A = this chain, B = another copy of it.
Amino acid sequence: MFNAEPSVKALVPFVSVHNMMRLVHHIGIETVLSELTDAIEADFRRWPMFDKTPRIASHSRDGVIELMPTSDGVVYGFKYVNGHPKNTAEGLQTVTAFGLLADVATGYPVLLTEMTLLTALRTAATSAMAARYLAPAGARCMAMIGNGAQAEFQALAMKAVCGIDSVRLYDIDPQATEKTRRNLEGSGLTVVACTSGEAAIEGAGIVTTCTADKQFATILTDNMIGTGVHINAIGGDCPGKTELHRDILRRADTFVEFPPQTRIEGEIQQMEADYPVIELWRVVNGEVPGRRDARQVTLFDSVGFAIEDFSALRYVRDWVAGTDFQQSLDMIADPDDPRDLFGMLQRAH
């Protein structure tokens, strides 16, 4: 596609934002969310096989830039992702991302892709996977507090995977709620716009919080949470950024992705270092129970972990291989004689 003629090894398959959107529509968004949920669940089941490290964060006054690598010994993946709550005011995304897969045996990249959309999809799929094990039986109604970029994805994943049929929305900005309501028209979900968090959680078996302020906030207080509810807390995901009152954490059974990362970034950063948590992967592989009874308050303290991105990257790679959803990017210098990098440069003159 470019004016050079690099060798095939030099070409890295690339999925642009445009092609990611085409791919999602080609498959169907609810199917993508269901299939991603299954892909993530399959990788949670083999959790011990992965290299795991807390993500590498570079914090600044207005936000954070993170690298999230992992590997299963065969494939290596990482995501670049930022989080800048003030971006919205300047017309920019709070979160943007891209990701890469590489072959562990050679170190050569095998996929580069946009991941802003893919992160929204995998975050919703991870929430749905957790809810599959933790939500109260027969839950049909969810509350969605925080109606930003993640809201519709959450609602559709809970519909596709857990059978949710109605969503109660609340955001401090009514325009955000209206945006979400409008986008979910025709989705088959009953959508109710509420004017307070208290109103939104009425009758909801799943309460999802996804707000973006980089501060200790109290989106939910203990008196708002009835018995048997599953709380899906998405927004508390970096140091100094939480959404729940600590009294909720004292009462709930808390499930997490990777404890060393969640203790730094999750809701549980408010708690003592030995606050008990249950690793979600142990629930998925059957080692420990998820929801045990109808009165239990469960909390998925979600911060997002590299393995979820890895699952999503592999899902995309499998879908785009050999299709025009991918383009070829001349990103890897690959001389005929691998020791002759200089000769390749010289001959290009």
A120 to B333, CA, bound (A): 11
Interface segment out of the listed A19-27, A227-235, A240-248, A277-285: A19-27
Contact check, B65 vs A331: say whether CB atoms are below 8 A apart. Answer: no
Interface string of A307-349 (1 = CB under 8 A from B): 0000000000000000000010111111111111111111011
Q: Which one, B71, B83, B91, B108, contacts A338 given CB within 8 A?
A: B91
Contact B63 A82 (CB under 8 A): no
**A197 on the interface (CB 8 Å rule)?**
no
Give, as a whole number of angstroms, the nearest-CB distance from A165 to chain B: 19
Instruction: Check: A188 CB closer than 8 A to any chain B CB.
Output: no
Q: Is B331 touching A17 in the complex (CB atoms < 8 A)?
A: yes
A87 on the interface (CB 8 Å rule)?
A: yes
Q: Would you call B343 and A183 a contact (CB within 8 A)? A: yes
> B67 to A338, Cβ gap below 8 A?
no
* Cα of A87 to Cα of B335 in the assembled complex, Å: 13
Knowing A17-B333, A120-B341, A342-B152, the reply to whether A82 touches B60 (Cβ < 8 A) is: no
Assembled-state Cα–Cα distance A339/B87 (Å): 10
**Chain B, Cβ-Cβ closest to A337:** B179
Contact at B117–A96, with CB atoms within 8 Å?
no
A136-154 vs B, CB cutoff 8 Å, 1 = contact: the mask equals 0000000000011111110
Complex Cα spacing A11 to B102, Å: 23
Please name all residues of chain B whose beta carbon is closer than 8 Å to the beta carbon of A107 when the two chains form the complex. 63-65, 82-84, 87, 96
The listed residue (B58, B98, B342) touching A109 by CB distance below 8 A is B98
With A18-B330, A107-B83, A183-B346 as contacts: A338 and B92 at CB distance below 8 Å = yes
- B29 and A6: CB pair below 8 A? no
Q: Is A4 an interface residue (CB 8 A)?
A: yes
Question: In whole angstroms, how far apart are the Cα atoms of A14 and B87 in the complex?
Answer: 23
B2 engages A16 (CB within 8 Å): yes
Closest B residue to A155 by CB, please name it: B342
Given A56-B53, A93-B334, A333-B116, decide whether A6 and B2 contact each other with a Cβ distance below 8 A: no
Complex Cα distance, B94 from A107, in Å, reads 9
- Chain B hits for A151, CB < 8 A: 342
Let me know if B108 and A82 touch, CB within 8 A: yes
**Shortest beta-carbon distance from A178 to chain B in Å:** 11
Docked pose: A78 CA to B81 CA in angstroms: 12
Determine the chain B residues whose CB is within 8 A of the CB of A69 once the complex forms. Answer: 56, 58, 65, 67
Q: What are 5 A-B pairs at a CB distance below 8 A?
A: A67-B69, A82-B108, A84-B107, A93-B338, A149-B341
Beyond A65-B71, A179-B339, 18 extra complex contacts between A and B, CB < 8 Å: A4-B16, A16-B329, A21-B344, A22-B348, A51-B58, A53-B56, A63-B107, A67-B67, A67-B78, A78-B80, A84-B105, A87-B106, A91-B336, A92-B106, A94-B338, A96-B107, A179-B337, A183-B343
Q: Which 3 A-B pairs have the closest CB atoms?
A: A82-B107, A4-B18, A116-B333
